[in-house]
Every structure is written in structure tokens, then in C-alpha cells.
Amino acid sequence: MPSKATHDPNQVTQGKNWMIQDRYTEVKDLPGHEGEQVTIAGWVETVRVHGKVAFIVVRDGTGLVQCVLVKKELSPAVWEGGTEDLSQESTVQITGQVKLDDRAPGGAELKVEGLEVLDRAGEYPIQPKEHGVEFLMDHRHLWLRSSQQRAGLRVRAEVTQAIHDFYYERGFTRIDTPILTGAIGESAGTLFSTEYFGETAYLAQTGQLYVEAACPAFRKVYCFGPTFRAEKSKTRRHLTEFWMVEPEVAFADSEDNMRLQEEFVTYLVERALDRCSEELEVLERDTSGLEKVRPPFPRMSYTEAVEFLQSRGSDIEWGRDLGGADETILAAESELPTFIYNYPTEAKAFYMKENPDDPRTVLCNDLLAPEGYGEIIGGSQREDDLDRLLTRIREEDLPEEAYEWYLDLRRYGSFVHSGFGLGVERTVAWITGRPHVREMIPFPRLMNRLTP
């Protein structure tokens, strides 16, 4: 065994070699070790024995590798360890020689010289056959290991990293906003509340009010974290806990806000196409539509959208918020995401800026993803007029005291500002072409699911 592959903690914690991957070679790096002897560790996906030759496919979290055992070249103990009762998902450590092979999954194969079973797995519940979604969700802690789930979550990880990179590169300061809050952020209808030392606390529906407060301190800010909505809908677009990124920009109006959204969404799509091509292939995603995503995105006012829907036979009336089915019809008009802007005041949240050209509406927009993935962004210019904001808080019957601090932002240096929120799971569902947001988060929280 090479000196790298050791369990001696004194050796591996010294100097630069402290990192765990130095104990073992990672499967993704095998092609760089042609002809060398390496040791890997991982989990058994499949075992096939053909007489005196056996093949074990091992997953180490960085890739898959086929390990070849030739009976006559191995001690009986190694041969038996690798062929008899080596159950799926058992943990193994394998030493062998790297052979390049274009047909192999990661471009390399291991000719086994030593094998140790670190843990023998019991009978694995997930078998290569059709399981119902509820069964798979009950076993989400194990389902994560399967190839399509791994691919989807890798794309999510790339997209979340890209989110931070995008704002970092543009000089935004990240603001971490609270999860326990005393004021309703978005709407009273979907609040989770909890007792808080004699008061009521709400789980944050949004970090927006807090990034607005940080705006005069840092000018361009964003928050990114979990948000909570007690959604009683069992659709493929709704989670009760989802991740949202919310930028907020001082001296930006609704037009600037939409331009930032176009640039941002294009960046995320490009990053996924660029760095997750293998994952998108595993997911069998047809990327031809995604490759066309670039600014400008088509724009339609809410009023135009209603007229368009009515012309298609919809019974929607001006004033009502658009539903999922309406959004699908509107988004089907383009391969690009579509902006719908300036909704009626009564359909939207209290903090949106009244439209000076049509006070029945507010300066806001939703961004609808193509292919029926629905609203991925909601954004607006914020009401910067103290009296107008107070009136809206009263009209919505919100407890004024809870917004005193928020109103201070209009008392002490009010300014034009805008921002938006992009839902990560809906965005990743669109990019990966997966039908349901529940697969786009490692452990989804849904109306009927709190475990695992």
C-alpha cells in the first residue's frame, strides 16, 4: 500500500497532507495515475462474477470506477471478500493498478491487488427497479446516492456557488438575515409561527426587509438562505422550505432591476451548461433551449398578459394574480424566460412602489421560466414614500408596530431602490429539466413531509 493510503492519524494530519482525500486517491483523478498503484475507498454499486473474473463498480462520491478481480492473481481471502456476499452499498477499500480505458465510466479501470471490506451493508432497500416516489422520498437519505439524484444536486451546488460568485464579482456585500422574525415579510396567509418567550415569532418568508435596511450601509447587498412558507398546495412548484437569493440595490429602479435579473439568470444558466455538462447528460436534459438564454428577455405588462390570456379563452379578470396555468400559457410564447411586469396593487405585497403612470398597479415583475417551470423570480421597486407605505400597511391590516423599524428606513434618507428574489429549487428544476422541485433540494420539506 502506498504511504498516502494510511490510517495513521499522526501521518495524515501533518503539513499539507491533513486533507482526507490524501488518504485515498479520488476516483475522478484516476486517469492521471496511469500504471500506478493507488488505493481508493467507496461504496459498492454492483458486483458481477463471471467464473474466474469479477467486476465491482465502486462509487466514491467523485465518480464511478470498475474494479477488475482476476482469481488466479489474488489471495483466496481477497477473491472471496470481493465476490462472496459483497452486498450493494458495502464500504470497501481497494488497492490496484490504474489502467486507462476509454469505454470505462471515468476513463479508467482498477486492476485489483488488495481489497478490504470496511463495512458489509445489509440488504439495500433501493433496488434497480421502479419504486414509487413516496417510497423513494421515505428513503431520501439513501436515494441521494443514485445517479440522477446526484446529478441534480450537483447542478444545485454549482448554481448556488454561481449565485455567490455573481454577486461577489459585482461588488455586492452578502448580508445574512434572520430566520426568526417579528414581522410578516410577505403575506399573512403562509406563515409558520412559533412561541418565542411569550411573543410570536415567524419563520422568515423572505430576507427582503432586512436587505433593504442594509442597502444604505453597503449600497448593493444580497441575502441567500432558507425561507419558509406554510403552503397548503401540493404542486410540483411548492416547498414549505426553499432557498431564495435576494439582491437589493440602491438607486436602481424597476427597469434596472429587470436588467439585473436577465444578466443574473443568464449567468446561472451558462455556468450550469459550462460546468455540469456530464450531470445534464445523466439527466437526459435537452439543452438546446438553455443555450439560447441571453438578454434581453421578452417583456409583457400584466395588462397585456391578461388580454393575451383572455384571447386564448381564459376567464381571468384584470386584478387577479396569475395562476400556474396562466403562467405556463404565457411562458410558452418564448424559449427565453418572460417578464410580466406591473401587476395590480391588490395582487402583490405591501412594499411595492405605486406606479406613477397607473396607480392601480405597482412597479414590479415576475420572471416566468420556459417549459412550464413557472415563476422563478418575483421582484419590485420598493415604496420609498413614508405615507404611501403606511397606507399600504394599514390597507393590508398588518400590525403597524412590527414595521416601525422598517418605516424608519423611509424616515432617515429614503431612496429609490429595487430588488428581487430568485427561488433556487424552481430555477434548478428548470435547468435540469426535472419535473418536481422536491428533487432539487437534498431533504425537501413539503406539506406532508418532515422526515427524513
Q: Do the Cβ atoms of 256 and 295 come closer than 8 Å?
A: no
Nearer to ligand 4AD, 337 or 419 (CB): 419
Q: How far apart are CA 26 and CA 31, in angstroms?
A: 10
Strands (E), 327-400: 338-341, 364-369, 374-381
Interface pattern 243-262 for ligand 4AD (x via CB under 6 A)? -x-x----------------
Nearer to ligand 4AD, 282 or 349 (CB): 349
Instruction: Tell whether residue 384 is a contact of ligand 4AD (CB under 6 A).
Output: no
Provide the mask over 358-387, with x wherever binding to Mg ion is found by CB under 5 A and - wherever it is not.
Answer: --------------------x---------
Which of ligand 4AD, Mg ion, none interacts with 376 (beta carbon under 5 to 8 A by kind)?
ligand 4AD
Q: How many CB atoms lie within 10 A of CB 387?
A: 9
Q: How far is the CB of 212 from ligand 4AD (least distance, A)?
A: 9
In the structure grid, which three cell numbers stand for residue 31, read together? 486517469
Measured from the CB atom, the residue of 83 and 240 that comes closer to ligand 4AD is: 240
* 152 is an interface residue for ligand 4AD by CB under 6 A: no
Beta bridge partners of 54: 49, 69
What is each CA distance from 112 to 25, 56, 98, 309, 427, in whole angstroms?
Answer: 14, 10, 9, 64, 43
- Amino acid identity, position 335: E
Nearer to ligand 4AD, 239 or 305 (CB): 239
By DSSP bridging, strand 37-50 and strand 417-423 are unpaired
User: How many DSSP H helices and E strands does the chain contain?
Assistant: 13, 16
Q: Are 249 and 220 in contact (CB under 8 A)?
A: yes
How many other C-beta atoms lie within 10 A of the C-beta of residue 70?
12
Between residues 55 and 192, which has the closer beta carbon with respect to ligand 4AD? 192
C-alpha cell at 17: 497532507
Locate 235 and state its grid cell: 404542486
Verify binding: residue 186, ligand 4AD, rule CB under 6 A: yes
* Least spacing, CB of residue 56 vs Mg ion, in Å: 49
Binding residue for ligand 4AD, selected from 154, 426, 434, 438, defined by CB under 6 A: 426
Among ligand 4AD, Mg ion, none, residue 222 binds (CB under 5-8 Å by kind): none
In angstroms, give the least distance from the CB of 371 to ligand 4AD: 15
Binding positions for ligand 4AD, rule: CB under 6 A: 186, 206, 208, 229, 231, 238-239, 242, 244, 246, 375-380, 419-421, 423, 425-426, 437
Binding positions for Mg ion, rule: CB under 5 A: 378
